[in-house]
Chains A and B, each alone.
Chain A
């Protein structure tokens, strides 16, 4: 007689098996697309962790995604052939050269006032490390201030929303260093351990799929630890947890930072797969779109939110192959979203979970009454 938890684990195993086997049946073009959607799935996990388990609706998750993306893109920009062929000792991004003042030395150190910031990014490992560290640092700092001050609920959402828009404007304004509105394009491929991650190669897909599988398993294990349980207690009643003697902000900051780290990794992988970074990653609509995916999939389920993100994007990609459906699809998404919030607040995962409960209880009823009552006693 399988229990609820066994079913749950089976769903995780089935999903991970599915994404790892996908290259067997998919051609390169779709493989690249699906890899992109798996990155979105990673974002779904990040949202579900902070929203479903910590009760923090972050309307600025795009901030961490964007920071991760830019850190990676800076390294890859320096690795691109155009940057390497500027005839200087160090690679220099082409946009810096276009906007350089006459007489400026063509070198990363001093072509403009901010270009020295790029110097360490010549080593891709520095870019990778920063892609996680910067989002985590930002999340820890802002989280520390917010949660120490017991700011919660909608105010956290507003602060994060204002913050992502603020950083977006700063990135756009710092044109000499970030290429402003245009973002970073024409990137090289990431090379790690001698393996080149060409976005249309199977190996890149496996890196993304592996990262998603790892994130799913790790976050699932994390929320089942003692810390994860305390976090859920805080979500349900912050004051009670506080009176029980738990250091509430500590747990909130920790999980906020984990969520930021996942989003940062997602940003990095997105750059590897899509080969650009742009300030649009920090648009308000993108941050809210992520929340939509998670809400449709199931805000309280890591796997549900992940599948929601991937599923919506696959349908969207299919729909946009027909010109007339592109705009209609957006309307459908709006409608689905309203309906989910109104009638399925726990998303598709919540619906599946209820269905599983119903099936399990029906199965349970067929067994002899003695066995059933024994199990119920244990359960209660």
Chain B
């Protein structure tokens, strides 16, 4: 049974890892960022490129991926998202377009393929990332064999959740973000530079997705479409947890991860995902504001 719980925990950690960034962009900013999955994808490709061009391993890619995706996120906020605040469904549609653009940019090797050039590591094909030797193999924790890389992901996820919590609740920028969450116009009236804080928040959320991409690349194949299913899962985690509630997202990632793990153990992976979807529908039907609802703008 302990193995099943660990599998659930590991599924939950990946969910949370991807959802954490979305919890910030959607929860705090009211933007449904469908390009979030593409940020994960970019993070994964950063890992691939780091290995090819810098000969560095997955651990070194973590800060690089954060920087790359945070910059891309910043650009998206400046060019597209900032024109759409308050139009929730339009942000969903516009960022879906952005997502397609990013996918095609990777697939077309940033346009180089038109000129017959090939950038190693990009393009429509599949890429693989090797996990560093110190993270392969299994650990024995309390009599249970545990995959070391999975355990590493859980640790990273917890760390990132902690950092995000500290940022949101223990720094002055966090106070500003939360003020904007509650009431952006009042926040602006109090002298908060809403534009700047929004752009930074979006960049941070995207950066978290980039780190998630590095982690995911360690156990999944990397390809241009990999982000789409992830954004859906992450999005459901945020909605179930309650928009704007960090604790809610953590709780709901744990819940959905365990539900997935246990159902997969009892039947199969497909049914497990179907059960998760059914559970999500039931939660939204009964509590549209999520399990940990918070009054926001």
- Chain A residues proximal to chain B, CB less than 8 Å: 57, 145-146, 149, 151, 153-155, 157-159, 161-163, 165-166, 169-170, 172-173, 284-285, 288, 291-292, 295, 324, 327-328, 330-331, 333-338, 341-342, 345
Contacts and interface: CB of A to CB of B under 8 A. Distances in A.
Contact of A173 (B124, B228, B232, B271): B271
Contacts of B158: none
Contacts of A169: 270-271, 273-274, 277
Classify the secondary structure of B's interface with A: helix
Range for the number of chain B residues in contact with chain A: 35 or more
Given A158-B236, A291-B93, 14 more contacts: A149-B285, A151-B284, A153-B89, A154-B32, A154-B92, A162-B277, A162-B281, A166-B274, A170-B274, A173-B268, A328-B114, A331-B101, A334-B97, A337-B93
| A-B CB proximity, top 7 nearest | A334-B100, A337-B97, A331-B104, A338-B97, A166-B277, A169-B274, A341-B94
Interface string B83-109: 110001110111011111101110110
Nearest to A168: B274
B277 A163 contact: yes
Contacts, number: 112
Given A291-B93, A335-B97, A341-B97, A159 B281 contact: yes
11 contacts: A154-B88, A158-B236, A163-B281, A169-B273, A291-B93, A327-B104, A327-B107, A328-B114, A330-B103, A341-B84, A342-B80
Contacts of B96: 288, 292, 337
A172 B96 CA distance: 26
Nearest to A157: B89
Contact of B80 (A159, A295, A338): A338
A341 B90 contact: yes
Contacts of A173: 268, 270-271, 274
Classify the secondary structure of A's interface with B: helix
B63 interface: no
Contacts of A151: 284-285, 288
A334 B281 contact: no
Given A162-B277, A170-B274, A155 B105 contact: no
A345 to B, nearest CB: 7
